[in-house]
Amino acid sequence: TGLSLAFATIPEELPIVITMVLGLGAYTLSKNNFLVKRIKAAEILGNATVIVTDKTGTITENKMKIVSLYPGSQEEIIKRALGTISPYSLSPMEQEIKNKAAELKIGEVASEIIRQRNLGNGRKTKSIIRKTGDDYELFASGAPEEILAMSQNLGEGVKNKLAEETARGRRVIAVAFKKLSPGEEQLDFSQLEKGLNLVGLISFEDPPRSEVKETIARVAQAGVRTMMVTGDHPLTARYIAKEVGIIREDERVLTGEELDKLSDEDLRQTVKTVSVFARTTPQHKYRIVQALQKNGEVVAVTGDGLNDALALKGADIGIAMGIRGTDVAKEAAEVVLADDNYITITQGIFEGRKFFDNLQKGIKYYLSVKVALILIFLLPALAGIPMPLAPIQIIVLELFMDLAASAGFVAEPKEKDIYTRGPRNPQENIINRLVVRDILIKGAVLFAGVTAVYFYARGRNLTVTESQTFAFAAWIFGHIILAFISRSDKESILAQGPFTNKVMNIWAAGAIGFLVAAIYIPGLHERFNLAYISLGQLVSIAVAMMIIVGLLELRKVVSSGKNKKLATDMAGRS
């Protein structure tokens, strides 16, 4: 009896239930290119209210295609652009330049690289000094506004072409060069990057991924805002953001230079209305994340570079790019996106919501049954009667109950409103006041049903073993019905589809099969302290428990009516 009391009162399987829901949920995500490094991250992701994402390769396909070269000779522009590419360059744009060179039958640059300045530290350009014989040349490429500021031979045509190309959503780089005098090759790049000869502009097309627009609209309907933070030109960023539905025509795009002029308090107000930031650095991204968090947002942020580690660590959920991300970024993040796809992020958010829903359902069901079991132990002590359940029966019940709470609710499909309801309040505990009330009500109803059947058997002057058999059967049927009712607090069993959770169906069939075998197979009922009862009595017990425990379905109808009335009242006021 002491052992069975311990089984009844100690929620020993609760950590296992929680681990199974989150662990199997993380495994499900991994099969969809969403690799969760920390199990808790899968649940937090469902609370996200803002996604701060890159543009290239996340919103877009990252398939760079040269569509325009301006002005003059294509060969000249591509030849000079090759001068800015080292043998180990792997970016999609540089690879496309190499492809274009091969198409134009331009050979690789044979000159030796002496020095180079890479992108970073607030710069959107790169420069390389090459040596050919005794001559030195400097080649530069990158953000047109930086290259134009370094160059001397400018015309209005270049600026007009830049505005035209970026307004069409194309990514544009400028290419320039300069012959160096003897000894200049050792000077600092800041001294050399002046008076360059502008060669031209190269325009790349990188279209948005298919279905991104629909996905952004879907997460917006679910209360999740999408923000785009990119290093691209503001007009390019605006075009892509409009194409995928992040902003409307009249909305503002803020540049990194403008962001630098804002105080932290001003930025907090700005991020409430501005959703696209262009020509930004990783430091800008970190400031944006901080401002959003100070506004009470739960932020999921993407990053791929070494300098993104700060923003990834600072965000509520850091998501590193698996294809183009650095090892540092992947180490700093809680999640690694194997396909670098925005759509995968949003799928992760909805899966995260499902994890939380199923975890809460499993915990509520598990604790409801625990409450009923404890009350059944208290009953004989208060009434001075034999226990409704024998110790061996309680141990058996615990096995079936734990399997339902863990495996059954892990397999529960998404709620139908998961794509339309807003994010959960992150400050809200998984076991709150309403959850406690639900646990107590469900536990009391299950206890009432089992007790009613038990007292009915005792009233018929049945033996203790026969009465316990009635109570045991009532418990098996009752906690199965309770499990199906607990699949949703909003939708009825019929609305959900009683057979949509295959794992729970198998468990229920197994539990009923065990009950029938334990009662009717000779030798088994003695082992489980059960007595033979007629099939009619067994069916009557099942019907009685369906009626008693099934009353909990009426709560859903009443609750649904109240919610509809509240929504109608709020709509009328607005």
Q: CATH code at 454? A: 1.20.1110.10
Rounded to 10 degrees, the C-alpha dihedral 157/160/161/166 comes to 160
Please report whether residue 42 resides in a domain. Answer: no
Quick: pLDDT tens for 491-522: 888 888 888 899 899 999 999 999 999 999 98
Q: What angle do CA 452, 457, 459 make, to 5 degrees?
A: 90
Question: What strands, in cross-sheet order, belong to the sheet with 335-337?
Answer: 34-36, 335-337, 317-321, 299-303, 50-53, 225-229, 276-278, 253-255
Identify the domain boundary among 157, 182, 205: 205
Quick: pLDDT tens for 388-444: 888 888 878 877 776 677 778 888 888 888 888 888 877 778 888 889 999 999 999
> Tell me, what's the pLDDT at 118?
87
Domain CATH number, residue 159:
3.40.1110.10
Quick: pLDDT tens for 105-119: 988 787 889 999 988
Q: Where does residue 574 rank: exposed (0-12), middle (13-18), buried (19+ CB within 10 A)? A: exposed
Q: Are residues 454 and 360 in the same domain?
A: yes
Please tell me which residue, 43 or 218, carries the higher pLDDT value.
218
Cα 451 to its chain centre, rounded Å, is 44
Q: What is the mean pLDDT of the chain?
A: 87
Q: Are residues 170 and 290 in the same domain?
A: no
Question: H helices within 104-209, ranges in order?
Answer: 144-150, 156-167, 189-192
d(CA 482, CA 372): 12
Mean pLDDT of 151-165: 85
Domain CATH number, residue 218:
3.40.50.1000
Mean pLDDT of 327-348: 87
Q: Are residues 384 and 528 in the same domain?
A: yes
Q: Are residues 169 and 102 in the same domain?
A: yes
Range in 48-52, 53-57, 295-299 the model is least confident about: 53-57
pLDDT band at 33 (very low <50, low <70, confident <90, very high): confident
Q: Are residues 270 and 313 in the same domain?
A: yes
Q: Are residues 311 and 285 in the same domain?
A: yes
pLDDT band at 562 (very low <50, low <70, confident <90, very high): low
Q: Are residues 496 and 381 in the same domain?
A: yes
Domain with 249, as residue range(s), is 47-61+209-340
